[in-house]
Structure 1
């Protein structure tokens, strides 16, 4: 596992974590919109 961490640059890890976090927030927002929209009908 140590070799794997040394191969991937630190900046890439940070970017990957940010993209995953933003993606989850975006997905949760869309899910919330659909849920509220379904309740409104």
Structure 2
């Protein structure tokens, strides 16, 4: 009997999983991450501007 565990066809080794995910992107972030980051930055600044105006108008 063999001491090595059997690997089914559907499962990949951890080394192979990391290579396929990183190999497709070539060390870059996916485009969806950049779009989400940009949207969150814009929304955050709009919300901060709203709060600033709210307190400015409320203090007068």
Q: TM-score, normalised by structure 2?
A: 0.54
Larger Cα-atom Rg? 2
- Counterparts of 2:35 and 2:28, CA distance in 1: 14
Shift in Å, 1:7 = 1.1
1:8-33 superposed Cα distances (whole Å, 9 cap, x missing partner): 11000000000000000000000000
Give the stretch that moved more between structures: 22-31 or 6-15. 6-15
Which of the pair is proportionally richer in helix?
1
User: 1:8 and 2:29 equivalent?
Assistant: yes
Corresponding residue of 2:38: 17
Equivalent residues, number: 34
In structure 2, runs of 5+ residues without a counterpart are 1-26
In structure 1, runs of 5+ residues without a counterpart are 1-5
Q: TM-score, normalised by structure 1?
A: 0.78
